[in-house]
Amino acid sequence: MRLILLGPPGAGKGTQAQRLVARYGLVQLSTGDMLRAAVAAGTPVGLKAKDLMAQGALVPDDMVCAIIADRIAEPDARNGFILDGFPRTVGQAEALDAMLKDRKLGLDAVIALKVNEDALLARVEKRVAEMTARGEAVRADDNAEALKKRLDAYRAQTAPLIDYYGGKGTLNVVDGMAAIDAVERAIVAILEGTGSAAKRKPARQSAKKVKKAKKVAKRPAKAVKAAKKAKKTTKSKAASVKSAGRATRARKGARKAAVRGTRKAAAARRPAAKKRAGTARRTVKKAAKRKSGRR
C-alpha cells in the first residue's frame, strides 16, 4: 500500500502515519524527519536545509525529490510506504508521479487532513510543552513566527495539491479536528475501501446496501401517510360514534330530568304537615334505637 498524507503543519500527519505503520507494516517516509536527521548529522543536504527549515520556508524541490527517490528504492519500502510531508509542491507531486511510473508503482490513496487553522498554533504549542517536559530538544521551527511562515508556505505551495490529486480521483478528505482514534478509523475505512479487488468488493456490496437502505428509509414515509389516513378515518368514525353517544345520553338525560321533575312535583304536592309527621316518626324511631343500644 502506498499513500500520501496531506495537511498543514500540526494537522496530525505524523501521529496518523505512526498508527498506520503499526497497523499495516508500512514504512513512514517523513521528509521533515529525514531533513532534521541530515541537519543533525551535518551532511551537505543538512547544511543547505538548516536555515530554510528554521525559518519555516521550504527547501528546494530537487533536494527533497532526490532524498525520496533514494528512499523508496530501499528494500523496506517494497511492502509499501506512507509519505508524510511529501510532496509539498505541485513540482514534487509531478516528480513523484514520474518516480512511481518508472518503478511501475501506483498510489492507493491521498489522504488530506482538514483542520481549523485556529487550532494549529495551540497544537504546536502543546507539542512544544510535551517535548520540553520529556526533556527533548524542541524543533527550531516550532515557534509562533516560524509556524506562521510554515502555514503561509502550506497555503501557497502545498494546498494546490488538493486540486492536483482531486483531479486525479485519488483524494480523500478526512476531518483532522476529530479525536485521534476517530481520524484513524476514518483513514482505515478509506484504505479498506481502496485496497485490493477483494477488499473493494464489500464496498460495492455496501453501496447496494445503501440503495436498499434508502428504499427502506422511504417506506416509513409511506407508512406514516397510511397511518395518517387511518387516523383520519378512525377520527371521523370516532366523531360519529361520539355524537351518537352524545345523542343517546341526551335522550336518557331528558328522560331522567322528566322523572326528576315528576318526583319534585309530587313532593311539592305532598302536604307539609304529612312531611313533618314523617320526620317526627323517624326521630322517635332513632331515639328508641339509641336507648336499646345503651342497655
- Point out which residues bind ligand ADP (CB under 6 A): 9, 31-32, 35, 52-53, 56-59, 64, 85-86, 88, 92, 141, 150
Q: Which residues of 232-244 are buried (b: 16+ CB within 10 A; e: fewer)?
A: eeeeeeeeeeeee
Q: Tell me, what amino acid is at 63?
A: M
88 catalytic per annotation: yes
Q: How far is CA 216 from CA 166, 202, 224, 230, in A?
A: 33, 20, 13, 21
For residue 110, give the nearest of 174, 31, 176 by alpha carbon.
174
Catalytic residue among 71, 114, 139, 149: 139
Residue with Cβ nearer ligand ADP (54 or 194)? 54
Residue with Cβ nearer ligand ADP (69 or 193)? 69
Contact (Cβ atoms closer than 8 angstroms) between residue 111 and residue 172: yes
Q: How far is CA 54 from CA 15, 50, 141, 146, in A?
A: 22, 6, 5, 7
Catalytic residue among 19, 36, 50, 88: 88
Closest separation between CB of residue 127 and ligand ADP, Å? 9
Residue with Cβ nearer ligand ADP (9 or 176)? 9
Closest separation between CB of residue 113 and ligand ADP, Å? 11
Residue with Cβ nearer ligand ADP (53 or 109)? 53
Closest separation between CB of residue 214 and ligand ADP, Å? 40
Closest separation between CB of residue 7 and ligand ADP, Å? 8
139 catalytic per annotation: yes
Closest separation between CB of residue 38 and ligand ADP, Å? 10
229 catalytic per annotation: no
Residue with Cβ nearer ligand ADP (180 or 227)? 180
127 catalytic per annotation: yes
Report the residue number whose CB is nearest to ligand ADP.
Answer: 32
Catalytic residue among 71, 123, 127, 149: 127
CA distance 232 to 234: 6
Catalytic residue among 2, 13, 36, 50: 13
The grid cell for 174 is: 478526512
CA distance 171 to 111: 6
225, containing H or E segment: helix 197-269
78 catalytic per annotation: no
The grid cell for 2 is: 502506498
Catalytic residues, by residue number, are 13, 88, 127, 139, 150
